[in-house]
Amino acid sequence: MTDDRILTASRCPKSLDAFVGQLGARKLFLAWFALYWPMTGAAQTTPTTTVPKWAEAELDRPVPEELKLLGHHGVVTLEGNVSAEKRASELVVAKSSGSLQLDALALGQLGNARISPDLLEGGATRVRISVEFSSVNYDTMGRDYVCDQAVRDADWYRTTFPGKVEDNKFKGFLRGVGLLDKRMEWAVRDRARFETVWNQAIELCRERPEAPLMGLIVILGSGKTPAK
């Protein structure tokens, strides 16, 4: 009987002094902190931020002849606002192609460009435009992309982005060919092998400036040596 009354009293003391005496000041503080802190945190308000909606587009542009001879190419990303007239305004280069000339060309061509209504559905207030400048003619499936230009492009990229492996639209196109052409199936399965064959083809191109790059890649990928 006595033991039960003591246990009850220790679980629920009648005075604060008794409670402090049982727990100690430190334990009392921790108990207060655990009870009070969630309530203070709940009372705090988190500032809300408005996430802008983007109108996004991807465009292809040919490289001007004078820059093509230097091997300039790449993707420039522009960002800006949608004006009240539904045009691209205040465009800036968000990601450079590596060529200041191509970046400036993209800004000149697309500054104040009218934005398609389809891209503005949902109330977009910002615009992002990716422009790929390439020497590859996709109307001919890249068959007329010959070695002298491929070498210029490869050398310019290696100088501009040392140590970086280029992954451009034409490489993606060639790997996609493997879905339709059995001679290129290996390019779909083995990305590392594709890069090796690509580099081998570029080196062979230095000796065969008029040869189509695609043809060399198909032959090298099959394990054969191209005839001179």
Mean pLDDT in residue range 88-93? 97
Residue 157, C-beta contacts closer than 8 angstroms, at least 6 positions apart: 71, 73, 74, 98, 164, 166
Q: What is the pLDDT of residue 121?
A: 87
Residue environment code for 97-124, b if the CB has 16+ CB neighbours within 10 A, otherwise e: bbbeebbebbbeebeebebeeebeeeeb
pLDDT of 45 > 50? The answer is: yes
Place of tokens 């993707």: 75
pLDDT of 206 > 80? The answer is: yes
Confidence of residue 228 (pLDDT cuts 50, 70, 90): confident
**Crossing angle of helices 191-205/213-221, nearest 10°?**
130
| CA 104 – CA 102 distance, rounded (Å) | 5
| 3-state helix, strand and coil shares in percent for the chain, rounded to the nearest 5 | 50, 15, 35
Q: What is the pLDDT of residue 111?
A: 93
Region label for 93, one of left (φ > 0), alpha (ψ between -120 and 50) or beta (otherwise) = beta
Q: What is the pLDDT of residue 32?
A: 46
| CA 121 – CA 45 distance, rounded (Å) | 32
Residue environment code for 43-52, b if the CB has 16+ CB neighbours within 10 A, otherwise e: eeeeeeeeee
pLDDT of 38 > 80? The answer is: no
**Crossing angle of helices 169-177/191-205, nearest 10°?**
110
Q: What is the pLDDT of residue 7?
A: 29
Residue-wise pLDDT for 14-36, tens only, equals 444 444 455 455 554 444 444 44
Please report how many Cα atoms fall inside a 13 Å half-sphere around the Cα of residue 228, on the Cβ side: 3
Residue-wise pLDDT for 114-154, tens only, equals 999 999 988 999 999 999 999 999 999 899 999 999 999 99
> ∠ CA(221), CA(224), CA(226), 5° rounding?
100
Q: What is the pLDDT of residue 1?
A: 41
Q: Model-level pTM? A: 0.74
Cα distance between the two ends of the chain? 108
Mean pLDDT in residue range 97-113? 97
Mean pLDDT score across all residues of the chain: 84
Mean pLDDT in residue range 94-108? 98
Confidence of residue 104 (pLDDT cuts 50, 70, 90): very high
